[in-house]
A and B are shown apart, each in its own frame.
Chain A
Amino acid sequence: MVSFILRRLLLMIATLIGLTLLLFVVARILPGDPVGLAAGPNATAATIAQLREQFGFDQPLPMQYWTYLTGLLQGDWGTSVFTRRPVFSDILAYLPATLELVFAALFLAIVIGIPLGLLTAVYRNGVLDYATRTLALGGIAMPRFFLGLLLQLAFAAWLGWLPLAGRFPFIEIPPETVTGFYTVDALIAGDMYAFRIAAAHLALPAIAMALSPLATIMRMMRASTIEILQQDYVMTERALGLSNRLILFKYVLKNAMTSTLTVIGLYVSWLLGGTVLVETVFDWPGLGLYATQAILTQDFMPVIGVTLVIAIIYLLTMLVVDVLYGVFNPKVRYA
């Protein structure tokens, strides 16, 4: 298994180099002048030329790419023309907020979706099944940003239970950074007050992001559970007196997980991409917001950097999923 993981990691590097080439070329052939935008309307031609030279835009494209690629390996991901800061440190600053949001959404989707899928399979065509099916359809059909707006309207504007937007109020002191996730850091510090604030801010965007994967995971789980429940071995397990709870949550669950696992893996990238919309709606200071800003100012380097980070996380997730297949299905061989 170790050699399997190592080989996959090597392959990942090749994939990522290909991706940088693609991104770089696409970003550069798009019309637009980031330097001109950044320099402002009153800049002289000399200033613009100087900036152009400073950012290396005067070099031929292959040279620019080579400089970028070699820099990438040394941790130099280029400089944002807009913020004038290194892209890498910008990303490091924004990434935890996004990951916290993505993990929270994924956690909700898995922890609620899997048991609901199991139960609706057992009590299919019952009240719970119809209720969740309706919700699931809504969850899949409704765009995240729209759902986000509805949630803001209901829980922040009307009910006033939760904050409208943002990650942490400026007037409060955030917990000491350990993981970069405010909720987790607050728990580590034992600061329940900060945890409540962080969780309250996290709740709405996480729910807005979670509903679609939750619905898909639930429906997927329901379908595979129904199939597994008809297997002969379930009859044998019942015939030998095992309790329904043991059969469902141990013997059926593990069998039904394999197909659901694929969906969960795919949703990690879906969620990462989706942060662009949800973070804008909720003013969540994460990669999505950063990338949106960069795109609006035609700032190449951050766009490439963010895309690259999402790609790396996606590839790593897929590797984890592939390894987990082996955990859930003993017949899987790593080769």
Chain B
Amino acid sequence: MALLDITDLQLSMKSYEGETQILHGINLKIERGEIWGMVGETGSGKSLTGLSVSRLISTPPGRYLAGSIQFQGKDLLKTSDREMRALRGRHIGMIFQDPTTNLNPVFRIGTQLVDVALHAGRTDPSVLGLSAGASRRDFKAAARKTAIEALESVGIPDAASRIDDYPHQFSGGMRQRVLIAMAMIGKPDLLIADEPTTALDVSVQAQILRLIHELVAERNIGVLLITHNLGVVAQICSHVAVMYRGRILEAGPVLDVLKRPSHAYTQALLESVPTVHTRRGELRGLSGLSPEMFV
């Protein structure tokens, strides 16, 4: 049984201009230990696929026309809200693009980490190293301890005192580490990272990618890494899926796809990546417009 098995996922969105199909039958299978890169242009449906796995798309305006998302054998599209919430944070972790806006600015990072830890702990006390009958106070103490450990595991120095700092007291890279710690605190089996390095500069980007790579090696989790940066894919992904207009055009082990792209779109995408030898004025673009949604 695969960790995550998306079959024929079709999603449509309603707006004032009518209903439009966004995802046209996504098929994707992620096993533990795999890092799947998902690449594609803006508007190709990468993020909506990621959000669908966590069922974070409100319905309406969203509507699933067909397909299933099997997570550890359970169809997420048929799960109750209550069960879904229990999965979030505990079994499925998520990190998003911009670390400056994804932490609540008026709460200490510790408060946010502890709340997520408490949530995961209530779902499964073993996350906090407790048994089911532990007292409220034990839960609180264990959650704080787990939060400090989580910060240490993502390389925040002096975590025990920094846990009481506010988000604005951290740099962008450090905040993304905090967010990763928050996503990993419930010891999830699957991590969905939606453009986790896009807002960071290259050196910090490399650190964050290395961190994700280490977490995968250490905990044997599956990762869905959404990005439009092919360099990132080449660096850490084991597999890649190329999306275009709500479809996966090509998917497979990263070397196969990047070295021997079989689909014309993938070839064009790869050719438009600038290299150090690209001269001024030589930047290539993809011809044609990205999804003309409403016709």
B4 sits at the interface (CB 8 A): no
Which of chain B's residues has its CB closest to A254's CB? Answer: B106
Contact B102 A236 (CB under 8 A): yes
A243 sits at the interface (CB 8 A): yes
Contact of A330 among B89, B112, B166 (CB under 8 A): B166
**B residues 62-90 with Cβ under 8 Å of A?**
85-90
* Bound-state Cα–Cα, A236 to B101, Å: 10
Cβ contacts under 8 Å, B102 to chain A: 232-233, 235-236
Which of chain A's residues has its CB closest to B94's CB? Answer: A239
* Bound-state Cα–Cα, A241 to B103, Å: 15
Cβ contacts under 8 Å, B96 to chain A: 232, 235-236, 239
With A330-B106, A330-B168 as known contacts, state yes or no: A239 contacts B56, CB within 8 Å.
yes
B40 sits at the interface (CB 8 A): no
Contact B85 A241 (CB under 8 A): yes
B35 sits at the interface (CB 8 A): no
Cβ contacts under 8 Å, A241 to chain B: 85-90, 116, 119-120, 123, 186
A53 sits at the interface (CB 8 A): no
Cβ contacts under 8 Å, A254 to chain B: 106-107
**B residues 110-126 with Cβ under 8 Å of A?**
112, 115-116, 119-120, 123
Cβ contacts under 8 Å, B168 to chain A: 330-331
B105 sits at the interface (CB 8 A): yes
B151 sits at the interface (CB 8 A): no
* Bound-state Cα–Cα, A83 to B166, Å: 57
Contact of B101 among A233, A238, A246, A328 (CB under 8 A): A233
Contact B106 A328 (CB under 8 A): yes
A240 sits at the interface (CB 8 A): yes
A94 sits at the interface (CB 8 A): no
B183 sits at the interface (CB 8 A): yes
**Residue count of chain B within 8 Å CB distance of chain A:** 33
Contact B94 A237 (CB under 8 A): no
* Bound-state Cα–Cα, A243 to B102, Å: 17
Contact of A255 among B86, B106, B182, B183 (CB under 8 A): B106
Contact of B93 among A232, A240, A243, A330 (CB under 8 A): A240
* Bound-state Cα–Cα, A239 to B182, Å: 11
A114–chain B nearest beta-carbon distance, Å: 16
A329 sits at the interface (CB 8 A): yes
A203–chain B nearest beta-carbon distance, Å: 36
B104 sits at the interface (CB 8 A): yes
A96–chain B nearest beta-carbon distance, Å: 36
With A235-B56, A251-B107, A331-B168 as known contacts, state yes or no: A243 contacts B85, CB within 8 Å.
yes
* Bound-state Cα–Cα, A246 to B116, Å: 11
**A residues 279-311 with Cβ under 8 Å of B?**
none
A131 sits at the interface (CB 8 A): no
Contact of A242 among B105, B116, B183 (CB under 8 A): B116
A231 sits at the interface (CB 8 A): yes
B54 sits at the interface (CB 8 A): yes
Contact A331 B56 (CB under 8 A): no
A229–chain B nearest beta-carbon distance, Å: 11
A324–chain B nearest beta-carbon distance, Å: 13
* Bound-state Cα–Cα, A329 to B98, Å: 21
* Bound-state Cα–Cα, A18 to B115, Å: 51
Cβ contacts under 8 Å, A330 to chain B: 105-106, 108, 166, 168
Which of chain B's residues has its CB closest to A246's CB? Answer: B115
A98–chain B nearest beta-carbon distance, Å: 34
B179 sits at the interface (CB 8 A): yes
Contact B98 A232 (CB under 8 A): yes
Cβ contacts under 8 Å, A238 to chain B: 56, 88
Which of B54, B98, B108 counts the most chain A CB atoms within 10 A? Answer: B54
Contact B179 A331 (CB under 8 A): no
Cβ contacts under 8 Å, A236 to chain B: 94-96, 102-103, 179, 182
* Bound-state Cα–Cα, A200 to B130, Å: 52
Cβ contacts under 8 Å, A251 to chain B: 104, 107, 112
Contact A240 B182 (CB under 8 A): yes
With A232-B98, A330-B166 as known contacts, state yes or no: A237 contacts B105, CB within 8 Å.
no
With A246-B115, A255-B104 as known contacts, state yes or no: A240 contacts B89, CB within 8 Å.
yes
Cβ contacts under 8 Å, B104 to chain A: 233, 237, 251, 255
With A231-B101, A233-B101, A235-B56 as known contacts, state yes or no: A240 contacts B107, CB within 8 Å.
no
* Bound-state Cα–Cα, A30 to B119, Å: 68
Kindly supply a per-residue 1/0 record for chain B positions 176-212, scoring 1 wherever the CB is within 8 Å of any chain A CB and 0 otherwise.
0001001100100000000000000000000000000
* Bound-state Cα–Cα, A231 to B102, Å: 8
A251–chain B nearest beta-carbon distance, Å: 5
* Bound-state Cα–Cα, A232 to B116, Å: 16
Which of A233, A242, A329, A330 counts the most chain B CB atoms within 10 A? Answer: A233
Chain A residues packing against B (C-beta within 8 Å): 231-233, 235-243, 246, 250-251, 254-255, 328-331
Chain B residues packing against A (C-beta within 8 Å): 54, 56, 85-90, 93-96, 98, 101-108, 112, 115-116, 119-120, 123, 166, 168, 179, 182-183, 186
Between-chain CB contacts (< 8 Å), 5 pairs? A239-B54, A241-B119, A254-B106, A255-B105, A331-B166
Given contacts A240-B93, A241-B186, A242-B116, 11 further A-B contacts (CB under 8 A): A237-B112, A238-B88, A239-B56, A239-B96, A240-B182, A241-B116, A241-B120, A242-B119, A243-B119, A246-B115, A255-B105
